[in-house]
């Protein structure tokens, strides 16, 4: 980087004071997922909890970035301060790099009320499943009340990341069927709001019928809440107000019904489980290297000890 190394605590304080470049560096720390990232997590956690995350997911080419950009414009017109995390599980590139059609979001680059950040896995041990909630909490802690999390793709990983939002918007296009065939069930499960974007093309009614049918056939309990289907044109902004109203309606339902509290509790437990699994996995890798490891494996090969006794010795004190 060539830049002076600043302790995580100082970076965090500067970000709290509104310094955007410190915030960017903080998120780079989180992306790396090392001990400093843990430190950021500890600082951010008690200050977070007020922010609300809205996930946007859909197949590549569905127009998510344009849609996100239109949503940003709408929220800024309401004078809301927001943050956007653009997650790309398949990309090795990060914040600094130009991410294809993310360029469109550069419209908001000079607006201090908008903070946009691209994230990739980089070196994070736990991958995006641990880095994303950490990044969300940092943005939450510095006072962003709305955090949009955009994920590219419709694979298992993307759906998992997207499904961790408080409200999840699934973006499809007219005639979407084939492009997401493989993971329709996964998308149905996480969708709180459906958007048919590029609704100026033909096939909107069929797609709507298709989605309604799938909702009818799904096992979801629809008595209290049924995901609405909103038609939008991201490029013109058509339908964006309806989309945002649908998000607000889902939020109101989730808050009053206890669904939000349930989801967050579930997510935190999953995250804690994953942190523990990751750390024990790292421990396993540490144990299976070094001088003692070499000695013990030699002893097993020479049959002066057996694999279970060797494992006992490597795991001494761990009671595993």
User: What are the residues binding a second copy (CB under 8 A)?
Assistant: 38, 41-42, 45-46, 49, 264-265, 268-269, 271-273, 275-277, 279-284, 287-288, 296-297, 300-301, 303, 306-311, 314-315, 317-320
For the chain, the residue count is 320
Closest approach of a second copy to the CB of residue 176, in Å: 30
Contact 268, 119 (CB under 8 A): no
Strand partners, 54: 148, 167
Query: Among candidates 176, 209, 210, 170, which has minimal Cα distance to 193?
Result: 170
- Closest to a second copy by CB, 16 vs 230, is 16
Closest approach of a second copy to the CB of residue 123, in Å: 18
For residue 242, report the phi and psi dihedrals to the nearest 5 degrees.
Answer: -60, -45
- Please give the order of strands across the beta sheet that includes 146-152: 114-119, 82-87, 146-152, 52-58, 167-172, 193-196, 229-231
Query: Among candidates 25, 161, 45, 136, which has minimal Cα distance to 83?
Result: 136
Closest approach of a second copy to the CB of residue 5, in Å: 21
- Closest to a second copy by CB, 9 vs 49, is 49
- Closest to a second copy by CB, 219 vs 302, is 302
Closest approach of a second copy to the CB of residue 124, in Å: 14
- Closest to a second copy by CB, 98 vs 277, is 277
Closest approach of a second copy to the CB of residue 286, in Å: 8
- Closest to a second copy by CB, 226 vs 273, is 273
Contact 208, 173 (CB under 8 A): no
- Closest to a second copy by CB, 182 vs 276, is 276
Closest approach of a second copy to the CB of residue 133, in Å: 9
What stretches of 146-258 show up as alpha helix (H) in DSSP?
156-162, 184-190, 204-217, 240-257
Strand partners, 169: 56, 193
């Amino acid at each position: 980087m060539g830049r002076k190394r600043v302790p995580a605590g100082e970076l965090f304080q500067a970000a709290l004071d509104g310094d955007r470049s410190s915030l960017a560096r903080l998120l780079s720390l989180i992306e790396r997922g090392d001990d400093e990232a843990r430190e950021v997590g500890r600082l951010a956690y008690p200050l977070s909890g007020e922010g609300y995350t809205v996930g946007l997911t859909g197949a590549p080419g569905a127009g998510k970035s344009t849609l996100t950009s239109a949503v940003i414009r709408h929220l800024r017109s309401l004078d809301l301060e927001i943050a956007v995390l653009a997650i790309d599980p398949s990309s090795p590139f990060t914040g600094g790099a130009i991410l294809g059609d993310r360029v469109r979001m550069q419209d908001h680059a000079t607006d201090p009320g908008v903070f946009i950040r691209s994230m990739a896995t980089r070196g994070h041990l736990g991958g995006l499943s641990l880095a994303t909630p950490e990044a969300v909490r940092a943005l939450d802690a510095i006072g962003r009340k709305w955090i949009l999390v955009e994920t590219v793709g419709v694979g298992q990983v993307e759906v998992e990341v997207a499904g961790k939002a408080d409200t999840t918007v699934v973006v499809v296009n007219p005639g979407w069927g084939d492009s997401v065939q493989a993971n329709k069930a996964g998308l149905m499960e996480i969708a709180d709001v459906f958007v048919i974007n590029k609704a100026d093309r033909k096939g909107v009614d069929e797609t709507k019928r298709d989605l309604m049918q799938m909702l009818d056939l799904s096992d979801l309990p629809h008595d209290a809440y049924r995901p609405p289907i909103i038609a939008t044109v991201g490029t013109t902004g058509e339908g964006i107000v309806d989309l945002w109203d649908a998000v607000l309606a889902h939020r109101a339902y989730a808050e009053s019904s206890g669904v939000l509290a349930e989801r967050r509790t579930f997510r935190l437990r999953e995250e804690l489980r994953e942190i523990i699994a990751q750390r024990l996995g790292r421990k396993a890798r540490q144990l299976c290297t070094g001088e003692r490891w070499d000695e013990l494996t030699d002893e097993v090969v020479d049959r002066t000890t057996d694999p279970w006794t060797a494992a006992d010795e490597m795991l001494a004190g761990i009671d595993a």
